[in-house]
């Protein structure tokens, strides 16, 4: 049912421009990876703290407040590069299980991060309780799934 | 001589098996890429603190003390998986322009980290709590950010064979950089 839409995506100006260029896809990929690095750092520093390791001398709320703009910046970079990457090979993506795993997990991870994790982290101090630890672990698991499925798009 | 060694290494059964495997190679490669989030991610966070751009009221020693072990763990995983990938196609990577630039930039990043830890960081007790660290620390953070970004970009581009020795003609400097003379002549 969605296939015509994916065909249209690939026929768009951006999709065709990226698909027909030698350098565009690799460069977008590389910047997408740089976004992944920043995203990893901004997430881990808080998730690890929520789990009770890493920067244990600082409160969870302070680290989360500092990390937030970098987390948002990383996501902006990833989406801004991810969309043209997708447009350049939408039909391949349509038939790719990893792509669908990633697209199913991504909104869950985003909703969890900004809906649940942020609210809890904001009010958490020096001694994260069990609830906080679970949230840190779930955040890591969700984003790991998004990243792993994302990498696997290229292999499957 | 190094060519002969790498040629031999690439023909060892384990190297061939790794390269031709259905799952092992992709899993090693995926681990290498995903660990970027840990290794380069933790490095970025610390570098941003050193430049004074982020985490200004968190002392620098908190990062070099509590976060660095995680960075080191990431580095070990990156090294092991990276060496395995190199082992799967030694001669090809040896002549890959992006691989060569990547190795050079990693050496620069290593020297930069060494200089920082032997220099400015030794007096971190005096400036570690400052919102904006001293010049030497800011420079170390900036060099590290730029170097690791370049390592990530060149690392990703290793996958492309644009400048490989068997793709000719190439400009002279490309063949020089890739060390192709021995192959083409």
Instruction: Check whether B184 has a pLDDT greater than 50.
Output: no
- Mean pLDDT over A93-116 rounds to 97
What is the spatial distance between Cα B107 and Cα B109, in angstroms, rounded to a whole number?
5
Domain ranges of chain A: 3-153
Is B39 within 8 Å of B77 (Cβ atoms)?
A: yes
- Residue A88 CB coordination number (10 Å): 23
Structure tokens at A121: 């982290």
Contact A48 B70 (CB under 8 A): yes
Distances (CA, A) of B87 to B5, B35, B68, B105: 12, 19, 28, 20
Q: Name the nearest CA neighbour of A43 among A128, A130, A93, A110.
A: A110
CB contacts, 8 Å: B70 with chain A: 44, 48, 54
**Quick check: bond before A33 cis, omega within 30?**
no
Is B145 within 8 Å of B51 (Cβ atoms)?
A: yes
Q: Where are the beta strands (DSSP E) in chain B?
A: none
Reported confidence tier of residue B182, pLDDT bands at 50, 70, 90: low
pLDDT of residue B185: 45
Q: Cβ of A19 under 8 Å from any chain B Cβ?
A: no
CB contacts, 8 Å: A70 with chain B: 45, 48, 54
Residue of A nearest to B46 (CA): A41
- Mean pLDDT over B92-121 rounds to 96
Gyration radius from chain A CA atoms: 18
Is B9 within 8 Å of B90 (Cβ atoms)?
A: yes
Is A40 within 8 Å of B41 (Cβ atoms)?
A: yes
Instruction: Check whether A134 has a pLDDT greater than 50.
Output: yes
Q: Which of A52, A55, A60 to mutate to test the interface with B (most CBs of B within 10 A)?
A: A55
The H or E element that residue B157 is part of is helix B135-157
- Out of B38, B63, B156, the one facing A40 most closely (by C-beta) is B38
Q: Is B179 helix (H, G, I), strand (E, B) or coil?
A: coil
B32-48 pLDDT, tens digit per residue, is 999 999 999 999 999 99
Q: Name the nearest CA neighbour of B108 among B147, B156, B155, B51.
A: B147
CB contacts, 8 Å: B48 with chain A: 70
Reported confidence tier of residue A127, pLDDT bands at 50, 70, 90: confident
Those residues with Cβ within 8 angstroms of residue A104's Cβ, 6 or more apart along the chain or in another chain: none
- Mean pLDDT over A134-143 rounds to 97
A 63-92 → B contacts, CB under 8 A:
63, 66-67, 70
Instruction: Check whether A16 has a pLDDT greater than 70.
Output: yes
Q: Name the nearest CA neighbour of A121 among A55, A48, A63.
A: A63
Q: Name the nearest CA neighbour of A47 among A126, A119, A134, A127.
A: A134
Q: Is A99 helix (H, G, I), strand (E, B) or coil?
A: helix
Q: How far is CA A66 from the centre of its chain?
A: 18
- Residue B119 CB coordination number (10 Å): 12
CB contacts, 8 Å: A22 with chain B: 162
CB contacts, 8 Å: A31 with chain B: 153
- Mean pLDDT over B107-122 rounds to 96
Q: Which position has the token pair 């040629």?
A: B7
């Amino acid at each position: 049912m969605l296939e015509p839409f994916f065909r249209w995506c690939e026929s768009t100006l951006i999709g065709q421009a990226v698909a027909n260029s030698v350098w565009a896809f690799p460069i977008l990929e590389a910047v997408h990876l740089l976004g992944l690095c920043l995203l990893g750092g901004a997430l881990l520093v808080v998730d690890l703290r929520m789990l009770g390791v890493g920067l244990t001398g600082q409160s969870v709320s302070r680290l989360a407040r500092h990390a937030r703009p970098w987390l948002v910046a990383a996501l902006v970079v990833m989406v801004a590069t991810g969309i043209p990457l997708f447009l350049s090979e939408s039909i391949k993506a349509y038939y790719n299980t990893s792509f669908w795993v990633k697209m199913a997990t991504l909104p869950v991870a985003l909703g969890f991060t900004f809906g649940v994790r942020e609210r809890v982290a904001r009010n958490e101090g020096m001694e994260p309780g069990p609830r906080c630890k679970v949230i840190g672990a779930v955040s890591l698991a969700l984003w790991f799934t998004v990243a792993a499925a994302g990498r696997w798009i290229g292999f499957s | 001589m190094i060519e002969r060694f790498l040629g031999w290494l690439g023909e060892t059964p384990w190297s061939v098996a790794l390269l031709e495997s259905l799952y092992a190679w992709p899993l090693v490669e995926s681990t290498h890429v995903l660990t970027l989030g840990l290794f380069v991610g933790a490095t970025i966070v610390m570098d941003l603190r050193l430049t004074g751009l982020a985490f200004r009221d968190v002392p620098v020693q908190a990062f070099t003390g509590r976060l660095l072990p995680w960075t080191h763990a990431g580095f070990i995983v990156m090294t092991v998986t990276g060496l395995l990938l190199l082992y799967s196609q030694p001669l090809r990577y040896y002549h890959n322009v992006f691989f060569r630039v990547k190795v050079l930039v990693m050496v620069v990043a290593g020297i930069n980290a060494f200089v920082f830890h032997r220099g400015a960081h030794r007096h971190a007790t005096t400036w570690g709590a400052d919102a904006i660290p001293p010049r030497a620390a800011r420079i170390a953070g900036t060099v590290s950010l730029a170097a690791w970004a370049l390592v990530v970009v060149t690392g990703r581009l290793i996958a492309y064979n644009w400048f490989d020795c068997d793709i000719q003609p190439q400009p002279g400097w490309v063949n020089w950089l890739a060390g192709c003379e021995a192959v083409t002549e």
